[in-house]
Amino acid sequence: MRRAAIFTLSMFAWQSLHAAPSARSVSPSRQFIIYGADAALRGAVSELVEQTKANLLAVLQQRDNWKAPVLVNLQPQQVNLPEVPPAALRFSQTGFGVKLQLDLMISQNLDASLVERELLRAILLEMIYRNEPHIVPGTAYVEPPDWLVDGLLAFAPGRDRRALIEALSTADKAIPLEEFLHQRSGVLDSAGRVLHSAYSLALLQLLIDGMDGPARLTRYIGNLSRASNDSLVDLKAQFPLLVGQTEERWHLAITRLSSLHRYQLLTFAQSEQRLGELLLVKLSDVNKPVKVIRLNELTQHKTSKNEKMALSQLSHDLLLFAVQANPALRPVVREYQQIATLLARDRRRGIAKRLVRLDDTREKLTARMRDIDDYMNWFEATQMTHGSGNFTEYLKAAYQSQPLAPRRRDPLSTYLDALEDQFRD
């Protein structure tokens, strides 16, 4: 991976840590001031920290509104001081506000994932205390929870999550959410840390997929400085979806993530067809045939008990389907899932207009994707100098599946067959 390659130091760079005079670089966002080492290594750290922050802001759907700068001090590993930790995050309060300093011990076997983790912790810590300018010196600061750090790292674009999904798939039994929230990843063995990262990713995905998830997660981070000793209560205060159905939603999130290895991503056409099937709500009653109605029909009246059960099942099915759906259609699926959840709770205000708008978006998206498919097929058929090969196996299978027509025995056919055999030879 690129982040690992950035920190693969040559012997020349390693020696320059000792020989180069103290210098500094400022990251493009101006938040990170990097001291020590040479310009190349400082630039690599700057690139990594800016990318780490960009990934976080993308999850939160927020702009970069940092207030406190972060000092990153790159120091060579001292042979005579092996007990010095490779990374140390220092937090203090000065007369000018919060001060954050991250000391990194650079060595030839530097772990890039450790550097990225500590940089993310520093970014989160600045967010936690961004609106707390008057902290009494000596006050113990609140660290970002391990599950949040691990979940954000696992959620970053381009990460290989196969090991995490495999860990969930082979786990005997999921631990309760409250017990998980109190786990410290630093005291776990390697297998335990992988499983902890998998649980963290499942929880983060659950929270941000909920209604106003990114905004609620931003508020949760901003309130961590005033957090209580009960992590689950703090989560429920910001995420109402965990109230009342905590364990059920937690286990559903784990099941959803662990099931990824059994699914293949559907094409847009397949996703659209499957979504259309799911949105036909099936109502069943004792001694009565199954009744099928459309989702918009349930916005006009108070939902019955049977309708609430059907809508709850639809919400569950859409939540699982979102994992398998084509990425272009996934936001539409999630909004349908939120609507089904609201209707199951008999909350109909504004839902009819929302459904009309969503149906229109879905129709336009389907038309646009159809136009794209038509254009790509036309381009391949008329403009490309050679075929893409995408349909070679299909055509071969289709040809082989067709029964061969019996040979004709009339004189002309016999003559043409003989000519064909001669040219083939």
Which stretch of 11-20, 193-202, 214-223 has the lowest confidence by average pLDDT? 11-20
Q: Is the pLDDT of residue 82 over 50?
A: yes
**Smallest Cα–Cα separation from 391: which of 382, 401, 381, 383?**
381
The predicted structure's pLDDT at residue 330: 87
* Distance of alpha carbon 340 from alpha carbon 346, whole angstroms: 10
The mean-pLDDT minimum among 234-238, 380-384, 409-413 falls in 409-413
Architecture per CATH, 145-262: Orthogonal Bundle (1.10)
pLDDT tens digits, one per residue of 129-148: 888 767 776 667 788 999 99
Contact 104, 34 (CB under 8 A): no
Report CA-CA distances (Å) from 94 to 72, 99, 133, 140, 259. 17, 7, 10, 14, 49
Average pLDDT over the chain, rounded to an integer = 80
What is the Cα–Cα distance from 17 to 105, expressed in whole angstroms?
Answer: 11
pLDDT at residue 203 in the model:
95
**pLDDT exceeds cutoff 70 at 404:** no
Mean pLDDT of 413-420: 67
Q: Please give the pLDDT value at position 92.
A: 76
Question: Domain coordinates of the chain in residue numbers?
Answer: 1-136, 145-262, 268-382, 397-424
Structure tokens at 221: 């981070």
**Averaged over 332-341, what is the pLDDT?**
88
| Separation of CA 307 from chain center | 32
pLDDT over 80 (residue 418): no
pLDDT at position 238, please? 92
- Please give the share of the chain, as a percent, with pLDDT higher than 70: 77
Give the closest residue to 102 by CA, choosing from 67, 70, 59, 148: 70
DSSP E strands, 234-319: 280-285, 288-294
Residues in the chain: 425
Residue type, 240: P
The verdict on pTM exceeding 0.85 is no
CB atoms within 10 A of CB 204: 22
Q: How confident is the model at residue 9 (pLDDT cuts 50, 70, 90)?
A: very low
Quote the pLDDT of residue 202.
93
Q: What is the DSSP letter of 416?
A: H
Position 264 scores a pLDDT of: 57
Token code pair at residue 195: 């499983």
Per-residue pLDDT for 198 more than 90? yes
According to the model, what pLDDT value does residue 235 have?
Answer: 94
Q: How many DSSP H helices and E strands does the chain contain?
A: 17, 7
Q: Does domain 1-136 have CATH number 3.40.30?
A: yes
Could you give the CA distance from residue 24 to residue 40 in angstroms, rounded to a whole number?
Answer: 11
